Structure 1
């Protein structure tokens, strides 16, 4: 039992049993991609926490109430968790990299920002909250005769976007 890993598949409701060595090798291969991940130094996490807290302190007075500011600060934060879910429908069963951001230094601030800005997409016709909603919407699409529907299979889409490109796009 110590030599196996049981994981949920990346899609569907199936459970995958993998050899622990195979899983470890695949995860290390994903983390070894220096284009997407980099090793941070010993003080990197503490510096990041301090940076987040300083940014909260610099917010325009009144943007956050004192109590809100205290709850958004990174005091008991942890690092992101990295793991992989097997893509059972792909040849060789590669892993889909997952980076769980729950509890990281910016987690509380992100939740606050979401609450403040969600009105921007509240009535948007192109926002999808649940996969089931999306599937219902596309079951019987009405497509003009001069249009076509396409589907793209992305590989590591979000982990492959250069940070500078994302920041420039937002700006």
Structure 2
């Protein structure tokens, strides 16, 4: 049984009446804007708007106006082509195809020709060449870290020491992370291959699935932080890039199944237009309370076992994943557990860490598991709530 929701995943804060009224006014203004968006039949999608300056210098370094102008344009330009990564990816793809590529040597030749023919300097103006030189110089400065903000497109500059201290404050949480001496990627890759082979030999997954899930060319997920410039003291949001971890292939496949289950949740909202559609026929009065809640460190606070139970219940109650009936629910749950088991680690610079509790941060699967578990918490909480609900 799922039992009680995880304690401590939400934080309740009492606020003064004036602050509450101000918050309610802001939420009402947001809702009124949805009506305008609803009637926009043709929309031009621009880069995400970020109010305020496109550049936030939190470091102690003083930059020239030219440097600030270049940095304010957005993300750092990539000035080189990583040929080794391209070749590795091509060979990995050819190997995974197991003979489905008709002429692999021809493919290799065409890719090599494209790499050799690539001449980025021919399309660069003298001004852009100068900007690239300045960016390269800034990138070599070990005393500063140039990154993007957690929300929006703002470029953020921090002192390296400040960035490192804030990363340390996250990683020194012994209840969540544990430093290990060696990289477990090779060990995890071999173990996952063995588990997948057992599933294939037992005919629980098809040979095609086995090839799709088969991990190769793997590396440890990379840990970094994005500054929350909208919050006091600019804390970092921990990010783990898992695109090359052993269980990535399994996770991507499972995500194609689970995305159909999201729409079965009562609180599912596709976007702001969808929210307006669901609220437009309800009466919103002065006495109506529009509220929202935020989970604290949701992934690491979630109980993995309860998340898996919530998922299994969803699979048993819904048939929206009928196209994937070639897999039994027990097999899907086995794949989910393998994905979680071999994704709870990462690398920060030269050090390796295990995540000792919660869902793996950064995997494609964790948002779905957290969603299904949060749905359970929402429904359990609302069913015991004394006030009348206008909509949920």
TM bin (shorter chain)? 0.7 to 0.9
1:141-163 Cα deviation digits (max 9, x unpaired) = 35567974322233322123244
TM-score, normalised to structure 1, is: 0.79
Match of 2:243 in 1: 102
User: How many residue pairs were aligned?
Assistant: 167
- The counterpart of 2:169, out of the listed 29, 35, 40, is 29
1:87-128 Cα deviation digits (max 9, x unpaired) = 011000000111121111100011122234444346766445
Match of 1:14 in 2: 154
* d(CA) in 1 for partners of 2:207, 2:305: 33
TM-score, normalised to structure 2, is: 0.38
Structure 2 residue 187 is matched with structure 1 residue 50: no
CA deviation after TM superposition for structure 1 residue 35, in Å = 1.5
- The counterpart of 1:161, out of the listed 302, 314, 318, is 302
Structure in which a larger fraction of residues adopt helix: 2
Most deviating of 89-98 and 116-125: 116-125
> Please, which runs of 5 or more residues in structure 1 have no aligned partner?
none
Contact residue 183 and residue 220 of structure 2 kept, 8 A? no
Higher relative contact order (CA 8 A, sep 6+): 2
1:1-26 Cα deviation digits (max 9, x unpaired) = 33111111101121111001100111
1:14-50 Cα deviation digits (max 9, x unpaired) = 1111001100111111111122222235263333222
Task: Show the 5 A alignment for 1:1-171.
Answer: 1-42=141-182, 44-59=184-199, 61-121=202-262, 126-128=267-269, 133-138=270-275, 141-142=279-280, 148-167=289-308, 169-170=310-311
Q: Which has the larger radius of gyration?
A: 2
With over 3 angstroms needed to count, the CA separation of the structure-2 counterparts of 1:71 and 1:167, relative to structure 1, is: closer
With over 3 angstroms needed to count, the CA separation of the structure-2 counterparts of 1:170 and 1:65, relative to structure 1, is: closer
Contact residue 185 and residue 245 of structure 2 kept, 8 A? no
> Please, which runs of 5 or more residues in structure 2 have no aligned partner?
1-140, 313-392
Most deviating of 23-32 and 148-157: 148-157
Two-structure CA RMSD over aligned residues (Å): 2.9
